[in-house]
Structures are given as structure tokens and as C-alpha cells.
């Protein structure tokens, strides 16, 4: 089938919740993917910050193959060896004590919201509200889309669940002022990814921790996009020395195999008891085998170091482009979550890059976002910069 035929079938059978590019990607290897016509692309989208080890990484492929031949699924009615091993790996490489496994970022955040409420219902009676940040993104379930303080995602889905208050990101005074006798916690992204790679001031996350400590609130950090090495450390909040009460992860955890996890300190986690929450396939053997292989490879094979080095190099090359092109308003990033903010809409740049064999993403209208595999090399960066330079020249 050619591309057009695939697209016609897609339109016939799949709900139109996504605005898709006219591209059918059929194969991937490392930092490259190929379309249904055999064209190769350098992939700086990485499945939207998911394929941290690139496509078809041999360690992940082997782990999935080996596990699928033994046991794919059994349910959480029983103990699951790969799930236990993954929980151990996550806990031993983090400041958290307990894990709850699910299948996506939204579900991990949903679990965090429920755990916060459950804990509050027992330990802070009368408190149930969470404060979240304007322009945040926490997922598409009804609770997480409500936590997502962006009206455009709410339209048509009202009435939304109650119990959420919004304040501007990076504004500690507004946060402090919004706390009421009903507040039980604060939920925040370490970097706002979807709204354009917005990096907070260095004192912001520590400031939230201080406010939470002073007012007895739970601090939940959504690291669905920034976690698992994206910023050069396993968790982005490590770099600010902040210890949240809960953290959520998904995206890169399974390198493309769907999995999400909520990690929490023991005292908070204890509010979940048998029957409190669950997921039939959450943390199943196959997903956990993929995630353990991903995490072990990231930790043991210098991936974090590569992310920091190549990320810095990428930022420096983009800073050169900024000097040359007045359409670039700002270049920013941390590790390999990097953005070019343009002075004009970015959609056309994405199309032009695609024509030249480079996949990038535009978010928030005028922000070109790069969340490539963490195995990216300086040579890959150089190749991408030549294409970006050409496209910026053309416009
Ligand atoms: C910070 C953050 N939280 C949650 C989500 C939702 O994750 P998922 O699409 O896996 O439900 C996303 C997705 O982009 C995200 O960036």
C-alpha cells in the first residue's frame, strides 16, 4: 500500500483525535526512521520523548523477546517477578520507597491525584484540593485534564471534577497565596514540556518544597516527560536537590512499550490498601521487562553522560543559529529537552524539515521542540543543524 492508501484507511477507521502529518512511519533503528516509501529521517521527536534508547534498541528487543516467550500477562492477582525487579530498580535508584504501575503518563498522574486524596482523607481531613500550574500538561483523563490548567483542553468536557486550583508557573507568591484550608497538595512539572519547554527559575521547585513543608502539603512532581534521563539525570528534580513526596514517570520508561509508574515515599504510599486502586495490565511482565532493560541500559551504559554532553553541544549549535536568524527569539533546554522559540508560527518549519529528512515537533504554536533519543551523537546534531539552518534561511 502507498502512503495515500494508508491515510485513506486511517481516516476511514480511526477517530480523528490527532492532527497527523501525511507520513506513515514503518520502521526505526537508532535515531532514524523510515516511511512507507522507503525515505529515511533523522528523528528528533523520538516518539515524543519516549524512545530514549532510540528505535529497536537490541537490549530492549531481547528483553521483550525473552519475556514474551515466558509470560506476557498474568494480572495483579499474583506476584509478578519482572514487576518486583523493576520496582526494586526504581526504588534503589531514587529517593522513593514504593511503586504503583500503570500504562501511561495520564494514568500515573491519575494515581498520584487519587493517592493524594486518599492520604489527605485520612491524614488531613477536609483537604482535597490540588494546586496545579497554568499551561501545565498532565494527561487526558478527566481528572488529569482538569489538573492540566489549559482551557483549550477542557472545552466540551464539562462539568470537570472539582478540587483543582490554578496558579501561574514559576510564581511562588501566587502559589503561596492560593493555598486554602482545602489544599492537600501541589502538582507541578519539573519543566513544562508541552507548553514549550518552559524551564523554571532554579529556586522554584525548592520554593514549592518549602511552601509544602510549611503548610503541610504534598508535593507531586510530574516527570512523565523529564524523567528517565531526559535532562541528563534520572529525574530532573534531582538537579534542584528537591525531594518530592511523589513523582510520576511514563514515556521513556518503556522505550516505547506502554508503561507508567507512580513512585512515593512510604508514609504516603501506605494510604493505598488492597482495593484502593488498580490496573488490569498495569505493570505486566512484558512491560516491566522492557522497562527494566531500558532503565538498566540508561544507568549502565553512559547514556546520562551522553545526554548531558550532546545536549550542551546541541544548545551551543542552536545558539549559533540564533545569532544568524532573527526569527529565533530564544534557545533553551536542559539535557536533551531543547527548544527554539520562534517569533512566528512553527508549523511550516516542521513541514519543511520533514521534506529534508528531519523530524521535529512544534508545540505551543511557535516553539520547535527537540526531544530526541538520548543516544544522539554530535554528528547527528550537526546534520540536524544544517537542515534547520537551511529551513530558517528559506522562510
Ligand atoms: C508532563 C506530562 N505529563 C503527562 C503526560 C501524559 O502522558 P500520556 O500521554 O502517556 O498519558 C504528558 C504527555 O505528553 C506529559 O508531557
pLDDT tens figures, 59-85: 999 999 999 999 999 999 999 999 999
Task: Identify the active-site residue in 43, 235, 245, 251.
Answer: 251
- Is the fold of 3-57+302-394 the same as that of 58-300? no
What's the mean pLDDT in 97-125?
A: 98
Residue 226 alpha carbon, nearest atom of ligand 1: 1
- Which of the four pLDDT bands, split at 50, 70 and 90, describes residue 155? very high
Distance CA(368)–CA(78), nearest Å, equals 45
Please work out whether the CB of residue 132 comes within 6 Å of at least one atom of ligand 1. no
* Distance from the alpha carbon of residue 37 to the mean position of ligand 1, in angstroms: 31
Contact 264, 97 (CB under 8 A): yes
pLDDT in the model for residue 34: 98
Residues in CB range of 366: below 8 A, 6 or more apart: 196, 329, 341, 342, 343, 344, 345, 346
What's the mean pLDDT in 120-130?
A: 97
CATH class of the domain whose range is 58-300: alpha beta
What's the mean pLDDT in 152-160?
A: 98
Domain locations along the chain: 3-57+302-394, 58-300
pLDDT tens figures, 228-269: 999 999 999 999 999 999 999 999 999 999 999 999 999 999
- Of 50, 104, 106, 237, the residue with max ligand 1 atoms within 8 A of its CB, to mutate for a pocket test, comes to 106
Please work out whether the CB of residue 193 comes within 6 Å of at least one atom of ligand 1. yes
Does the pLDDT at position 395 exceed 70?
A: no
Does the pLDDT at position 120 exceed 70?
A: yes
- Of 105, 150, 253, 369, the residue with max ligand 1 atoms within 8 A of its CB, to mutate for a pocket test, comes to 105
Please work out whether the CB of residue 369 comes within 6 Å of at least one atom of ligand 1. no
257 an active-site residue? no
Average per-residue pLDDT for the chain: 97
Q: Tell me 336's DSSP state.
A: T
Q: Which of 15, 302, 266 is nearest to 140 (CA)?
A: 15
| Residue located nearest, by CA, to atom 8 of ligand 1 | 105
pLDDT in the model for residue 366: 97
What's the mean pLDDT in 13-40?
A: 97
Task: Identify the active-site residue in 35, 43, 164, 222.
Answer: 222
Please work out whether the CB of residue 189 comes within 6 Å of at least one atom of ligand 1. yes
* Distance from the alpha carbon of residue 257 to the mean position of ligand 1, in angstroms: 15
* Distance from the alpha carbon of residue 137 to the mean position of ligand 1, in angstroms: 7
CATH class of the domain whose range is 3-57+302-394: alpha beta
pLDDT tens figures, 329-367: 999 999 999 999 999 999 999 999 999 999 999 999 999
C-alpha dihedral, 177 to 181 to 183 to 185, nearest 10°: 90
Instruction: Evaluate the omega torsion of the peptide bond into residue 159 and state whether it is cis, within 30 degrees of 0.
Output: yes
137 an active-site residue? yes
| Residue located nearest, by CA, to atom 4 of ligand 1 | 138
Distance CA(259)–CA(104), nearest Å, equals 5
The percentage of the chain sitting over the pLDDT mark of 90, rounded to a whole number, equals 99
* Distance from the alpha carbon of residue 49 to the mean position of ligand 1, in angstroms: 10
pLDDT in the model for residue 230: 98
pLDDT in the model for residue 394: 87
> Could you tell me the three cell numbers for 192?
513544562
Amino acid at each position: 500500500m502507498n502512503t495515500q492508501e494508508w491515510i485513506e484507511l486511517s481516516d476511514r477507521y480511526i477517530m480523528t483525535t490527532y492532527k497527523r502529518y501525511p507520513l506513515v512511519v514503518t520502521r526505526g533503528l537508532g535515531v532514524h526512521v523510515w516511511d512507507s516509501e522507503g525515505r529515511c529521517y533523522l528523528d528528533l521527536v523520538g516518539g515524543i520523548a519516549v524512545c530514549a534508547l532510540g528505535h529497536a534498541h537490541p537490549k530492549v528487543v531481547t528483553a521483550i523477546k525473552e519475556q514474551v516467550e515466558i509470560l506476557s500477562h498474568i494480572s495483579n492477582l499474583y506476584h509478578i517477578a519482572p514487576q518486583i525487579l523493576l520496582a526494586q530498580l526504581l526504588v534503589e535508584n531514587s529517593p522513593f520507597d514504593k511503586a504503583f504501575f500503570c500504562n501511561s503518563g495520564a494514568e500515573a498522574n491519575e494515581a498520584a491525584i487519587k493517592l493524594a486524596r486518599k492520604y489527605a482523607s485520612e491524614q488531613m481531613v477536609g483537604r482535597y484540593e490540588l494546586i496545579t500550574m497554568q499551561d501545565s500538561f498532565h494527561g487526558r483523563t478527566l481528572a488529569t485534564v482538569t489538573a492540566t490548567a489549559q482551557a483549550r483542553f477542557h472545552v466540551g468536557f464539562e462539568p470537570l471534577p472539582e478540587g483543582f486550583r490554578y496558579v501561574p508557573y514559576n510564581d511562588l507568591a501566587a502559589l503561596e497565596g492560593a493555598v486554602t484550608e482545602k489544599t492537600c497538595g501541589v502538582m507541578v512539572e519539573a519543566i513544562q514540556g508541552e507548553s514549550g519547554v518552559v524551564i523554571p527559575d532554579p529556586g522554584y521547585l525548592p520554593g514549592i518544597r518549602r511552601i509544602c513543608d510549611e503548610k503541610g502539603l504534598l508535593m507531586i512532581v510530574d516527570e512523565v516527560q523529564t524523567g528517565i534521563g531526559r535532562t541528563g539525570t534520572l529525574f530532573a528534580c534531582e538537579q534542584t536537590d528537591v525531594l518530592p513526596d511523589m513523582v510520576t514517570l511514563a514515556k521513556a520508561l518503556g522505550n516505547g512499550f506502554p508503561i507508567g509508574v507512580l513512585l512515593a515515599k512510604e508514609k504516603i504510599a501506605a494510604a493505598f490498601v488492597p482495593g484502593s486502586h488498580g490496573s488490569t495490565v498495569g505493570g505486566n511482565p512484558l512491560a516491566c521487562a522492557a522497562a527494566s532493560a531500558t532503565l538498566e541500559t540508561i544507568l549502565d551504559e553512559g547514556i546520562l553522560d551522553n545526554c548531558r554532553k550532546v545536549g550542551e553541544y546541541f544548545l551551543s549549535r542552536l545558539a549559533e543559529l540564533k545569532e544568524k536568524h532573527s526569527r529565533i527569539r530564544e534557545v533553551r533546554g536542559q539535557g536533551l529537552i531543547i527548544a527554539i522559540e520562534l517569533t512566528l508560527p512553527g508549523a511550516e518549519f516542521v513541514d519543511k524539515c520533514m521534506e529534508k529528512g528531519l523530524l521535529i515537533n512544534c508545540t505551543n504554536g511557535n516553539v520547535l521542540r527537540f526531544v530526541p533519543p538520548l543516544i544522539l551523537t554530535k554528528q547527528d546534531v550537526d546534520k540536524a543543524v544544517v537542515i534547520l539552518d537551511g529551513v530558517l534561511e528559506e522562510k
